Structure 1
Amino acid sequence: MAEEQKAWWKEAVIYQIYPRSFQDSNGDGIGDLPGITRRIPYLKKLGVDVIWLSPIYQSPNDDNGYDISDYRAIMKDFGTMADFDTLLKTAHEAGIKLVMDLVVNHTSDEHAWFIESRKSRTNPYRDFYIWKDGRDGKEPNNWESYFSGPAWQYDAATDQYYLHCFSKKQPDLNWENTKVRDAVFDMMTWWCEKGIDGFRMDVISMISKDQSFPDGPLKADGYGDLSPHVCNGPRVHEYLQEMNDRVLSHYDLLTVGEAAGVTIDEAKKYARSDGKELGMVFQFEHVGPENGKGSIIDKWTTGKPQMPDVRAILNKWQLELEGKAWNSLYLDNHDQPRCVSMFGNDSPEWRVLSAKMLATCLHMQKGTPYIYQGEELGMTNTTFHSLADCQDLEEINAWHQYVDEQKKVTPETMLTCFNTVARDNARTPMQWDASDNAGFTDGTPWLAVNPNYKTINAEAALKDPDSTFYYYQKLIRLRHAYPIIVYGTFEPLLEEDPCVYAFARHLDNETLRVACNWTDKEVPCTLFEGLEGETLISNYEQHKADCLQPYEARVLLTRDAR
């Protein structure tokens, strides 16, 4: 195997911030840029290398900022461009890079481009978006939006429909139009010249659509699945290579594409080792409904993924991308439930141990690890008592579709599903201390704080040398100190074990052995028997030779004599 090409972003640990929920500085109940700047010392203490900001651009906020009305302005809720400049400068002075969220599959319907586009069929901006005639008095095809309901919105002014793969206030851009690509690349260059350090690209695998716009495979709710016709489309790699040639290759950037529907073969093209497209992609297999959870309806479930299924998926990606493309490593983000609640055990007895175990399992794999705000504290899912507790458009639309209109599930069942997988679980405000509203705001928070903030918060974690915070800090320091954690090859171990996720990493004469017990029971494990080496990290002080204790994680480094 040829030596892995080195890059700073492979060696980095990225911390994702959801600005609306991180830190409010002015008492309006909404997190903002000055709030993030205030917390830079906390992030420096944790040791992360990069901040990834979820969208902060001007937006009417239909989808929490993923509906952008001006790419070169800051959402008023979050502050001003001067506040952004201060944040960027403060982060850089602390040795922390900053990555922006790039949302260019769609804009807001309040973007100047779309306002012009819908004025007439002959408007110069008409073809910035995807407009089609109806079919037999209905939508152009049977596609269902990812946010429920038809993916086409009728516009009476011009008697046509526009495509929106998400909210009807998020019309899809027409990347077939060279003027769209020119405008996007010009905007990206503008941000790079401001000094940002990269882009996380929202649903970037969807920018090229099947231009025949055929009906999608029928789903249980009667709509057609649009995914086969909008994900990994015919020109997506052409567009990304053009983006790379015109923008990305001119700067030293971290680039990661959120790639809905990505396969391993496609990932090898997106994150190709020759650097012609992106640095890495986010894949969703291990967090999707197909990983063994068993949905009640669509994505909504009350089950948890089983470790053997998760292991099989993650190992597959590790092995298949080895030497060909770079992995991104995550269990948590703004679109997922809290990982300790979904993959671990968030009961008071096991929360800390299982959070540390999951972190070990992830950070010791090959790829760039992502920490979502609060993950380093072991923050958990919240509890929804009614639809009024929800802010996320996906949840609200699903409730109206499945509970109110189709009556496929009861309100009680839907709430149980929300408590398991709803995106708002990740969006509850960051828990800084035990004061009112967890120290997030002096006002009324835009989304209720998780009631467990009295015990789970940053202030308490910083006072406890055995907290998850300091465990994450150690994982980050180890990554910076041991090249094998970054560049070592990956070898699955104990693949038939129903409880233990184990693997090895190899580099030169070193071997790293990792074993993680995903259960609350003591389980047999002889992986470390007879081995002399250095235990780099573990969530237990004392180990047993022939077993792993509940949620135990252990990492042993050995060196061959030369």
Structure 2
Amino acid sequence: MNSTSSPTSTSTASVAESERTWWKESVFYEIYPRSFYDSNDNGVGDLPGIVRKLDYLDDLGVDVVWLTPVYDSPQADFGYDIRDYRDILDEYGTMDDWERLRDGLHERDMRLVMDLVVNHTSDEHEWFEKSRREVDPYTDYYIWREGDPEAGSGDPYDPDALPNNWDSLFGGPAWTYDERRGEYYLHLFDGKQPDLNWRNPAVREDVYGIMRWWLDRDIDGFRMDVINFISKADGLPDGDPSAVVTGSEHFINGPHACEYLREMDERVLSEYDVVTVGEMPGISVEDAREYVGRDGPLDMAFHFEHMRLDEGPDDPWNFRDWSLDDFRETFTRWQTGLAGEGWNALYLNNHDQPRMVSRFGDEAYRVESATMLATFLHTLRGSPFVYQGEEIGMTNVPFESAGKFVDVETLRYVERMLERDDVENFEDIGDAVRYGSRDNARTPMQWSDAPNAGFTDREPWLTVNPNYTEVNVESARADPDSVWHYYRRLIDLRHDAPVLVYGDYEPLLPDHPEIYAYRRTLEDVGALVVLNFFDGEPRFDLPGSVAYDGAELLISNYEVERPEGPDGFDLRPYEARVYRLE
């Protein structure tokens, strides 16, 4: 791999001071604490383990750490079911450990973003315990409905008994009957994750209090879990039964979602210099402008359109081949649709998605496709999010059996499918589950070729990918041509090239079946990005609108020999090149 020039030479263009923000210029790094590093050898990653690896993050060059939930939790959904927002789960450490992490990041000029999970709580949260007993003022902190548990067969989960026909995103009805209260409560996810009633001003005020509590402890922002689900349609009407998730049209971007977030901004966020990133399944570019436009309450949004390109129209687990045309069209629509209005949060994998090399790249060309995809993410307009292990090219896991999975969403899907007459055993659905399970992203970080990938000396909470003997941090840092070193150079390049952060985006060769190419332009400086998304060797023919004379190669994931033709060049499998253009 080769970078042929100093990144400091990439741009002389200036950016209006009013447009510049620290979070636009930052590279984010997501940590899933349970799988990052185990400091006390109990098989589970923890906060002291992250503290031990802060120099590693500093060496990589990232600017902001997004920490997925470390709050006290029964772990039904591994932390996204919170029992106490102001306490740390014992398995992960203590509040003192958290403060050492925060201070260690700040001492290294890195920032800390916490995960805000306030669409729902755990059913073990004090609020829910009191709500089910109808203790004031918590009676209406959640969404309760009577339904008719005696209807039909007398089964409280008979469809005729439920308050409406909504589905949980994890499968099955979105309602659970509570014997103590004698009513059903709504949960868009697991039954142990009851949805909060955001119509209740007291709920909102308590959420704002939690936010202030953390912001006053000097954190630098929030990633907000499914934050566009917080408003449900008036009357909770039945949903379209033909939808992939019945009822989703009544809780995705509900009638008051943006109103609540504007109130949150006015009451809390506007008082702090922080970044806010909303996870927003189901939003369009037009929706995003409301949330993250110039007058929007949030700074960035995670959309899911590119994450749906390989999912079947009727069943997200019915995976299909994705096309470069759809991929390019999706990213171009978001790049141009938010230009001058909002800011993109750029990602291709995270704790909820399979590994990007296995999904959008090619394990047979692991290094080449990992670095090509990284080049893509770090040269678009927006802030790139690196998920732990991405920087060494970690891949999906060849899980041997259903018993190896632990993710609640995966297990629910397997359970539902095994009840069908046309599914005899796990292997009938095994390929889809291995491809799409969230567990692919959650296997332990691969630090070395020592047992358990150097993550722990005990049995890890989740199986380690068997390729850790070859794919690990220790070997990657020792190899100057590794994925890890390429990430370092790429992050340095983005830090020193305003054109790659703030420049306009212009797609090139919009119909090419193998090449995704685009130009970034900021005042008198341009950058040309050329990416081969497949294992062929297509020729890149320079569009007439691009002046190639004097082009300077900034970074590539192959050695590039000079001279090159003035009108284009041949690309190798998964090759990526970035040029500086006058």
**Which residue in 2 is equivalent to 1:180?**
203
Aligned partners of 1:414, 1:449: CA distance in 2, in Å? 22
1:338-378 Cα deviation digits (max 9, x unpaired):
0000000012xx11011111111111000000000000000
Aligned partners of 2:277, 2:142: CA distance in 1, in Å? 25
| 1:32 matches 2:53 | no
Q: Secondary structure at the match of 2:162?
A: coil
**Which residue in 1 is equivalent to 2:260?**
239
Q: What is the identity, as a one-letter code, of the residue corresponding to 1:133?
A: E
| 1:130 matches 2:143 | yes
Of 401, 418, 429, the match for 1:414: 429
1:289-339 Cα deviation digits (max 9, x unpaired):
xx2x25396211343422221111011000111001111100010010000
**Which residue in 1 is equivalent to 2:528?**
513
Query: Taking structure 1 as reference, are residues 208 and 297 closer, same or farther at Cα in structure 2, changes over 3 Å only?
Result: closer
Query: Taking structure 1 as reference, are residues 270 and 286 closer, same or farther at Cα in structure 2, changes over 3 Å only?
Result: same
Aligned partners of 2:314, 2:443: CA distance in 1, in Å? 24
* Kept after mapping to 2: 8 A contact 1:305/1:342: no
**1:484-499 correspondence runs (5 A):** 484-499=499-514
Query: Taking structure 1 as reference, are residues 406 and 102 closer, same or farther at Cα in structure 2, changes over 3 Å only?
Result: farther
* Kept after mapping to 1: 8 A contact 2:29/2:387: yes
**Which residue in 2 is equivalent to 1:295?**
312
**Which residue in 2 is equivalent to 1:148?**
171
Of 333, 338, 362, the match for 1:316: 333
Aligned partners of 1:73, 1:488: CA distance in 2, in Å? 42
**Which residue in 2 is equivalent to 1:66?**
80
Q: What is the identity, as a one-letter code, of the residue corresponding to 2:276?
A: T
**Which residue in 2 is equivalent to 1:332?**
349
**Which residue in 2 is equivalent to 1:361?**
376
Aligned partners of 1:301, 1:16: CA distance in 2, in Å? 28
Query: Taking structure 1 as reference, are residues 8 and 383 closer, same or farther at Cα in structure 2, changes over 3 Å only?
Result: same
Q: What is the identity, as a one-letter code, of the residue corresponding to 1:508?
A: E
Aligned partners of 1:296, 1:62: CA distance in 2, in Å? 28
Q: What is the identity, as a one-letter code, of the residue corresponding to 1:551?
A: Y
**1:124 offset after TM fit, Å?**
2.2
Q: What is the identity, as a one-letter code, of the residue corresponding to 1:411?
A: F
Aligned partners of 1:287, 1:342: CA distance in 2, in Å? 10
**Which residue in 1 is equivalent to 2:9?**
none
**Which residue in 1 is equivalent to 2:231?**
208
Q: What is the identity, as a one-letter code, of the residue corresponding to 2:233?
A: D
**1:350-389 correspondence runs (5 A):** 350-389=365-404
Q: Secondary structure at the match of 2:212?
A: helix
Aligned Cα RMSD in Å? 1.6
| 1:396 matches 2:414 | no
Q: With the length of structure 2 as denominator, give the TM-score of the two structures.
A: 0.92
Aligned partners of 2:204, 2:487: CA distance in 1, in Å? 40
Of 525, 538, 547, the match for 2:540: 525
Q: Secondary structure at the match of 1:394?
A: helix
**Which residue in 1 is equivalent to 2:121?**
107
1:483-539 Cα deviation digits (max 9, x unpaired):
111100110110000000011101010111101001111001122884322111100
Q: Secondary structure at the match of 1:328?
A: strand
1:206-255 Cα deviation digits (max 9, x unpaired):
0111021111111489xx61211111111111111111111111111111
Q: Secondary structure at the match of 1:142?
A: coil
**Which residue in 2 is equivalent to 1:9?**
23
Query: Taking structure 1 as reference, are residues 552 and 381 closer, same or farther at Cα in structure 2, changes over 3 Å only?
Result: same
**1:269 offset after TM fit, Å?**
1.0
Q: What is the identity, as a one-letter code, of the residue corresponding to 1:418?
A: V
Q: Which stretch of the first structure deviates more once superposed, 538-547 or 89-98?
A: 538-547
Q: What is the identity, as a one-letter code, of the residue corresponding to 1:138?
A: A
* Kept after mapping to 2: 8 A contact 1:492/1:504: yes
**Which residue in 1 is equivalent to 2:283?**
262
Query: Taking structure 1 as reference, are residues 270 and 296 closer, same or farther at Cα in structure 2, changes over 3 Å only?
Result: closer
Q: What is the identity, as a one-letter code, of the residue corresponding to 1:541?
A: E
**Which residue in 1 is equivalent to 2:240?**
217
| 1:93 matches 2:107 | yes
* Kept after mapping to 1: 8 A contact 2:548/2:581: no
Aligned partners of 2:559, 2:342: CA distance in 1, in Å? 36
Aligned partners of 2:171, 2:118: CA distance in 1, in Å? 21
Query: Taking structure 1 as reference, are residues 475 and 409 closer, same or farther at Cα in structure 2, changes over 3 Å only?
Result: farther
Q: What is the identity, as a one-letter code, of the residue corresponding to 2:266?
A: D
Q: Give 4+ residue runs of structure 1 displaced > 6 Å after superposition.
A: none
**1:94 offset after TM fit, Å?**
1.0
**1:441 offset after TM fit, Å?**
0.5
Across the two proteins, how many residue pairs are aligned to each other? 549
Q: Which stretch of the first structure deviates more once superposed, 404-413 or 240-249?
A: 404-413
**1:250-289 correspondence runs (5 A):** 250-274=271-295, 276-288=296-308
Aligned partners of 2:422, 2:145: CA distance in 1, in Å? 32
| 1:166 matches 2:184 | no
Q: Secondary structure at the match of 1:183?
A: helix
* Kept after mapping to 2: 8 A contact 1:384/1:418: no
* Kept after mapping to 1: 8 A contact 2:74/2:82: yes
* Kept after mapping to 1: 8 A contact 2:120/2:193: yes
Structure 1: 5+ residue stretches without partners: none
Q: Which stretch of the first structure deviates more once superposed, 540-549 or 255-264?
A: 540-549
Q: Secondary structure at the match of 2:176?
A: strand
* Kept after mapping to 2: 8 A contact 1:56/1:74: yes
**Which residue in 2 is equivalent to 1:50?**
64
| 1:537 matches 2:579 | no
* Kept after mapping to 2: 8 A contact 1:304/1:342: no
Q: Secondary structure at the match of 1:461?
A: helix
* Kept after mapping to 2: 8 A contact 1:296/1:302: no
Q: What is the identity, as a one-letter code, of the residue corresponding to 1:130?
A: I
Structure 2: 5+ residue stretches without partners: 1-14, 152-159
Q: Structure 1 vs Structure 2: percent identity of aligned residues?
A: 50
**1:440-459 correspondence runs (5 A):** 440-459=455-474
Aligned partners of 2:140, 2:548: CA distance in 1, in Å? 68
Q: Secondary structure at the match of 1:9?
A: coil
Aligned partners of 2:239, 2:548: CA distance in 1, in Å? 57
* Kept after mapping to 1: 8 A contact 2:504/2:520: yes
Q: With the length of structure 1 as denominator, give the TM-score of the two structures.
A: 0.95
| 1:248 matches 2:261 | no
* Kept after mapping to 1: 8 A contact 2:123/2:192: yes
**1:404 offset after TM fit, Å?**
2.9
